[in-house]
Structure 1
Amino acid sequence: MRAVIQRVTKASCTVEGKCTGAIEKGLLVLLGVEENDSQQEMEWLAQKLANLRIFSDEHGLMNKSIRDVDGNILLISQFTLFAHTKKGNRPSFIQAAKPATAEPFYLQMGTMLSTLLQKKVQMGMFGADMQIDLCNDGPVTIIMNTKDKDNF
């Protein structure tokens, strides 16, 4: 799995003119699922997201987690995080999981994060053409890859 994590002051997802999810202070998480991802990788990533200390404390240092600041998460499925651009100019997405695999992982990640945070996680709509509106805070953007856990 790959995740692009952005600290935001607000973020929302709209599909065909209807808002599917919106948050104030929190994290916008763009999630890509790879065909051979595992339950263990999802659990690792969910724990990282719930405990990642990227919110400022009273001294302006990144010392607080989303739990500490009572923040929210907007979770968006994004297969394009697995774009392979080495050859030619048109990206290949062969590493991205097929919808039958990716959608259950995406939905389960939402449930897992809701359980960890003990609040509803806002979601996009899997497979839809989504418009994401956000206001970066900082900006703080972190990229994680569960296949490369040793570097995170």
Structure 2
Amino acid sequence: MSGARACARAPPGEGKLSMTANREIVADAFAAWSAGTGSITDLFAEDMRWEIIGRSVAAGLYQPARQFVEEALTPFGARFTKEDPFRPVHIRGIYEDPTADTVIVAWNGAGTTTIGTTYTDTVAWFLRMRDGKVVEGTAFFDSIAFNELWQDVPA
């Protein structure tokens, strides 16, 4: 992301950033995560609600953010090497729905597992934003590949 742009803010007390600002915040967070210079969890509000759609072993509803991190992200991340953790390698697109305060990110991720295999996945995240933080997330990904990773690679 080159150059900084001013963020348009809603009137005081409304607690909403413009979707342009939210989209930029999400894009910057993904760029930092991809480069290994930031954590995507920095984007999460403490009271965030996260739902993983599908039939993977991690599918379900998590709230607050701490539960999502402890029960899904941490054991997922433990299956990858520190040198090449799973992270975005290609952003397919970042879209916004201003009527729902939502930023949508379609992305490809990859990382090297602790058993030396490469895990790749195509992911879509729907992120409802408030005050520049994710308050509700919905994730779609390849449940079969995820379950194989969970079964074959120890945490």
TM over 0.5: no
TM-score, normalisation: structure 2: 0.23
Q: TM-score, normalised by structure 1?
A: 0.24
Higher relative contact order (CA 8 A, sep 6+): 1
